[in-house]
Amino acid sequence: MNAFPALLAEIALIQDLRSAAALLDWDHQTYMPRNAAEDRASQLASLASVIHERETAPGYAKHLEAAEKEVADFPPDSLERCLVRVLKRNFEKESRVPASLVRELAETSANAHHAWAEARETSDFSLFAPFLERLLDLARRYAALFAPYRNICDPLLDNYEEGLTAQHLDPLFSGLQEKLVPLLRKIAASPQPDDSFLRENFDPAGQLRFSAEVLARMGYDFTRGRQDLSVHPFTASFGLNDVRITTRVQPDAPLSSLLSSVHEGGHALYELGIDKKLNRTPLANGASLGFHESQSRLWENLVARSLPFWECFFPRFREIFPGPLADADTAAVYRAINKVTPSLIRTEADEVTYNLHVMLRYEMEKELLNGTLSVKDAPDAWNRKSMEYLGIEPGKDSLGILQDIHWSMGSFGYFPTYALGTLLSAQIWQTAEKELGPLDADLRAGNFAPLLDFLRSRLHVHGAMFTPQETLRRVCGVTEIDPACFLGYLEKKYSALYGF
């Protein structure tokens, strides 16, 4: 067998180049000097061009074709067959895209990120608007390369969730919204918990110390990762031995910082649990963005918002912040962290309203991409939709259309994966408890090993070897996302919390 090893060597080089680009982007969002944006945009664009050139070169195509024949008789779930399947899919997509468009996308998104950060800081959408116009135009040009399609969003959705289309997603979201709104109304009509004690001054250094202790207990390996600060929390992987996360800290919102850290920690645990045999290949990734988000949402919501979690960690929380928490107890923090209040910021939204934030963004994307909404009118449209979906209206752009980083990255089609991940997290949790028994006692003891071992053996270890549908079958024994599982979890939890 000669072709497959040659192909492995080629893709290892490509993955190294991707890791180098990811490292530059991580620096871009963390430590890069403010005025270095123009140089960084050129660097990222050059790397994107080189990667695209190598991935679509005739010699690479020949290696891939020869390797496919060479491994044709291997088992369908073998590393070789799975890798060839993913490489073929990637090649077929990448070969449609001109190198000039790849470079333009990379350079524009790098410059757009800088403009977005400045616009967000000053709450002035006009600073970002020209870049959003250009990114939308580039997204339309990209989508056109995959015509015909039913919806312009389809080629973009497929980049993050293989096989996902608007035709499948729209009724799923519609049905979910129909169930969430009545639940939200019942909660709104109930007495609300007091969370005022969490709006005092919580030392930022103490917040970072507490989140680092929680991450370590979860299983995050600080010898293969680190936590830093950024405007928008994210996870960056530069290989299976270097997976970094970021968070943001607000003195009067300590649980926001913690949940951001735990969310990103869930992403990182996924990457760090992938079989090392897959390193330096495209399989060293999650099965899809939906599955990646299932891990971040599982740890954020089903673990860090649970009562057993706080029965374990509240004593340490109060030890670090004795002043603000002098009169608080475990039950008070549990009620506060699960308070359901329509809010403006998606990353700080409660479990009940969170998916409404995602739906708002998805509807905005469809209108912007289809040209039924202009960029200049987008902030007002956002505010109207916020009132329609959440019953509140942002008072400024930084709390509305500028709050998320994704459009500045050209990541159209990404937002729905947050909702898919939320639904998947409930199914995976249910499966874990069926096999392991109730997890409350382990969480209360701060013993996350049984849960992590289950996730690693059933999901993490496989990386991106299988399609999202096959991955779901292997983890949960079914092939379809079931919103009823998540909705049942919400109804049970919040009826108990709010007494209805």
For the chain of 500 residues, list the mean pLDDT of each consecutive stretch of 10. 91 98 96 94 96 95 96 97 98 97 96 95 97 98 97 97 97 95 93 94 97 98 98 96 97 96 98 98 98 98 98 98 96 97 92 97 97 97 95 95 96 97 98 98 98 98 98 97 96 96
On whether both 70 and 207 belong to a single domain, the answer is no
On whether both 38 and 68 belong to a single domain, the answer is yes
On whether both 229 and 137 belong to a single domain, the answer is no
When divided into structural domains, the chain yields a total of 2
SS3 label, residue 237: strand
Q: Which two tokens stand for residue 274?
A: 């992938």
Query: Among 263, 298, 255, which residue's Cα sits nearest to residue 475?
Result: 298
Give the predicted TM-score (pTM) of the model: 0.96
- What is the DSSP pairing of strand 227-229 with strand 235-237? unpaired
On whether both 17 and 123 belong to a single domain, the answer is yes
Rounded distance, CA 289 to CA 295, Å?
10
On whether both 29 and 118 belong to a single domain, the answer is yes
On whether both 17 and 45 belong to a single domain, the answer is yes
On whether both 115 and 229 belong to a single domain, the answer is no
Q: How many CB atoms lie within 10 A of CB 479?
A: 12
Rounded distance, CA 67 to CA 80, Å?
9
SS3 label, residue 33: coil
On whether both 54 and 23 belong to a single domain, the answer is yes
Domain presence at residue 155: no
The pLDDT value given to residue 330? 98
φ, ψ dihedrals at 227, nearest 5°? -120, 130
On whether both 142 and 212 belong to a single domain, the answer is no
pLDDT digits (tens, 9 = 90+) for 262-317: 999 999 999 999 999 999 999 999 999 999 999 999 999 999 999 999 999 999 99
Q: What is the per-residue DSSP string for 384-431? A: HHHHHHHS---SSGGGTTTS-SGGGGT-TT-THHHHHHHHHHHHHHHH
Domain presence at residue 161: no
Task: Give the active site residues.
Answer: 264
Domain presence at residue 157: no
Looking at 97, 114, 148, the residue that finishes a domain is: 148
Name the one residue in this structure whose structure tokens are 């679509």: 56
On whether both 451 and 482 belong to a single domain, the answer is yes
The pLDDT value given to residue 26? 97
Identify the CATH number of the domain in which residue 469 sits.
1.10.1370.30
The pLDDT value given to residue 2? 87
Instruction: Answer whether 240's CB lies under 8 Å from 286's CB.
Output: no
SS3 label, residue 79: helix
On whether both 140 and 173 belong to a single domain, the answer is no
φ, ψ dihedrals at 73, nearest 5°? -95, 5
- What is the DSSP pairing of strand 243-247 with strand 227-229? parallel
Residues 6+ apart with CB under 8 A from 60: 10, 54, 91
Instruction: Answer whether 255's CB lies under 8 Å from 286's CB.
Output: no
Domain with 94, as residue range(s), is: 3-148
Question: What does each C-alpha distance from 405 to 75, 129, 171, 349, 411 come to in angstroms?
Answer: 41, 14, 26, 16, 9
